[in-house]
Structure 1
Amino acid sequence: MGYTLKAGSDTKVPLALMVIESYTHTAKAQTSPPANGFDTNNNTQLQQASVFLAGRITDHLGVLAQATYQESSGLFGWDNSDLRYARTLTTSSHSAIWGVSLNNNPSLSDVFNTSPAWQFPYTSSNITPAAPAVPILMGALAQQAVGLDAYTQIDGALYVEGGVYRTLSPAFLHDVNASYGGRVAGVAPYARIAYTWNLENGNIELGGLSFDARRGLTGTNVAGQTVAVAGPTDSFHDLGVDASYQLLNGSDHIITASALYLHERERLDATYASGGSSNLHDTLHAVNIDASYWYKNTWGATLGVSSSDGSNDVIRYGNNGSPNTDSRMVELDWNPFGKADSWEAPFANLRLGLQYTWYTKFAGLVHNIDGAGRNAADNDTLYLYMWVAI
């Protein structure tokens, strides 16, 4: 319904603040500091400080707009943003919600926590080694593109969405402190379908999604800024399936589970021609599965599994030539505030989290993953965070 939910009759300015302070430790120190002003291990940081404009503008128009500062980059810039118009439609036998979304991240418009924009982990360290490659839909165009999506949900069960995205100019993205990874040629279509079965004590959802994009390479201008390079483009074709389950029976116990599988076909005309790839055609696959248990919305535990693999390509991925990376994650959380009967509700919200990630494979290898003696287990990460929202 486009962020238009209203509680009571009071008119309030729809502003919110969020701060995440974190500590990161890897099993073995990184070979170099992850960012300016950081050490090779045992780093504390103001990981994220965000301001939100979120709420109704009119009865049918609402917005979620986020701007974020990160200590690791030293920049304050725009983040996930979504402007929506939505209405209801009722006939004698059916009801529907329909709307349009103008947003800056493919899959940001999704209403399930299975899509790449919203999936678990909801926060994690941003200063540790990451998987060598994942499908383009998993954040490669986040905050770099603008898209217009139309959607409908029929009888609270069938959800259908479709839209197109275009990249924003390097000059604009530089002004809002967003990264630029290359120009999307033409438009990039996005499609989503999902069906929800309402159960006596919860629900089950099953869906699919697709995304196609043709993106060019980047270079650097005389001012040191990233700009588009004229020439051929790389083509990415993503197809995925997802599922989720929620146990919501009104008791003290809540169980959720979700899964996402993405398959990507790539034709690397630009990268291959420039000598950046061993293959003209590559593939990538990614799997994310998680399950959570919460007691009284206060104590939580989550288990997660992530796996990515794809074509062997020595030029793109180096060393072993493989992007194959497998990790496991466990997270323990405590929410002392943030419930209906909490102190200073609903204004004071606090979560303390302890997260541990371990790797069974990194870049296709268990040992000597970088050619210099580093093992996959050396990237195992302990992450402690304090998340405050007001």
Structure 2
Amino acid sequence: MACHVGAFGPELTTFGRQFKLMGYTMKVGDAKELPLSAMLVESFTHTQKAQTDVPAKGFGTNDNTELQQASVFLAGRLSEHIGVFAQATYSENGGLLGWDNVDLRYARMFSRGSHTGIWGITVNNNPTVSDVFNTAPAWMYPYMSADLAPGAPAQPMLFGGLGGQVIGASAYVQLDGAWYLEAGGYRSLSPAFLRRVNADYNGRLSGITPYARAAYTWNLPKGDFTVGGFVLSMRRGLAGTNLAGDAVPVAGPTDRFRDVGLDSSYQYVNADHSFTAGALYVREQQRLDATYADGGADHLHNSLQAFNLKGSYWYRQTYGVTLASFIDNGSNDVTLYGNNGSPDTRGESIELNYAPFGQPTSWRQPWANMRLGLQYTYFTRFSGLVHNIDGAGRNASANNTLYFYVWLAI
């Protein structure tokens, strides 16, 4: 409840942000327990109309239940200035246990004259996973969503395009609780290593991929307001397979992606009422030298845009409602995106939540933690069309999704 809106992750309060910036090193008393925890997510997914093909091996075309995530965490203080958030996850969709988000930090406080702040270094495996604001793609809403339902055909690389496939380091500083600056770079991990941790491999990055983040927070009488931005610039070659069927890099030209994002958020949290709102816009410019030369795209130059907006209200950190809207759009390219060649997909969602054990006096606190979520997502456009989106009479509304989940943590 102190660190999270709705008494459950991942949306952080102001205190939760400071805990993360300080490298997860805060402790209570003389506790020396190994910082282990676990979570489990069981879900049910229903689309308005059964999908044409099964969404994944072992599932049906509709009304699927699954063990969506079963995770273990090493998350907390390792020493006075070093802490870690490391997650390994099993999913029934794919049937594999692999590494998930990893964020290892060294952090210290400082003061210079009238200024105070925090500086640190993070080593992590996903651009934006180091971020403390819930407008960052790695931690943005929806915090849990259906993985067995149709989604946007394409999004910018910042939206998980490198997650788990890279290793990077960045330095960050927070000054006077207002300015937040971070800059660093990422390199590809080898296909052999990614096979061992059951991670995807989508091609090797060329050299270092730079990443930068800046944000400014105004502390208001009834909350705080933040504006900021992201920059990611990368070059990546194509992925192929060897005779054994393993993923390997392909020699030749590279595709270039440059993402520029703007975000803002507002937060007001007290014991009875909590309001949060967030917005993120990302534009990606592409030069597809590798994909175009390989016949995988109609155009050498393409672009993508993504806009996400959400607002949440929580009552006594127990009952929550969230409204959200999303637009994913970009250049038309039939070979790249299939169908009619448009990635234009947009819609809205509403989610209701119940967290029965979110109070300091809750039963079995802090061991018993549960969130129930009921989410409905409806599409006003899918792949650029409203009607007959697949050439076989399926409408965008056929992909409307009802999603229910039970999220446990200990």
Deviations 1:209-228 (A, max 9, x none): 10001011111111112221
**What is the CA distance between 1:91 and its match in structure 2?**
2.2
Give the one of 269, 273, 279 matched to 2:289: 269
Deviates more, 1:18-27 or 1:340-349: 340-349
CA RMSD of superposed structures (Å): 0.8
Write the distance in 1 (CA, Å) between the matches of 2:109 and 2:34. Answer: 25
Aligned counterparts, 1:264-343, within 5 A: 264-343=284-363
Do residues 346 (structure 1) and 366 (structure 2) align? yes
Do residues 163 (structure 1) and 174 (structure 2) align? no
SS in 2 for 1:337: coil
**What is the CA distance between 1:372 and its match in structure 2?**
2.0
Percent identity, please.
60
Map of 1:35 onto structure 2: 56
Write the distance in 2 (CA, Å) between the matches of 1:332 and 1:323. Answer: 29
Deviations 1:298-346 (A, max 9, x none): 0000001110111111111122211100021100000011321111111
Map of 2:76 onto structure 1: 55
Give the one of 385, 404, 407 matched to 1:365: 385
Map of 2:94 onto structure 1: 73
Do residues 381 (structure 1) and 388 (structure 2) align? no
* TM-score when normalising by structure 1: 0.99
Give the one of 125, 147, 151 matched to 1:126: 147
Map of 1:217 onto structure 2: 238
**What is the CA distance between 1:251 and its match in structure 2?**
4.2
**What is the CA distance between 1:36 and its match in structure 2?**
1.6
Give the letter for the 1:17 counterpart: A
* Segments ≥4 residues shifted beyond 4 Å: none
* TM-score when normalising by structure 2: 0.94
Question: CA contact under 8 A between 1:204 and 1:244: conserved in structure 2?
Answer: yes
Question: CA contact under 8 A between 1:339 and 1:346: conserved in structure 2?
Answer: no
Write the distance in 1 (CA, Å) between the matches of 2:271 and 2:130. Answer: 30
Map of 2:263 onto structure 1: 242
Corresponding residue pairs, total: 389
SS in 2 for 1:378: helix
Give the letter for the 1:323 counterpart: P
Map of 1:172 onto structure 2: 193
SS in 1 for 2:195: helix
Map of 1:105 onto structure 2: 126
Question: CA contact under 8 A between 1:235 and 1:266: conserved in structure 2?
Answer: yes
Write the distance in 2 (CA, Å) between the matches of 1:372 and 1:166. Answer: 43
Map of 1:196 onto structure 2: 217
Map of 1:229 onto structure 2: 250
Gaps of 5+ in 1: none
**What is the CA distance between 1:12 and its match in structure 2?**
1.2
Map of 1:182 onto structure 2: 203
Aligned counterparts, 1:15-30, within 5 A: 15-30=36-51
Write the distance in 2 (CA, Å) between the matches of 1:224 and 1:99. Answer: 41
**What is the CA distance between 1:75 and its match in structure 2?**
0.2
Write the distance in 2 (CA, Å) between the matches of 1:32 and 1:223. Answer: 28
Write the distance in 2 (CA, Å) between the matches of 1:144 and 1:339. Answer: 38
Give the letter for the 2:273 counterpart: H
Give the letter for the 1:389 counterpart: A
SS in 2 for 1:336: coil
Question: CA contact under 8 A between 2:325 and 2:349: conserved in structure 1?
Answer: yes
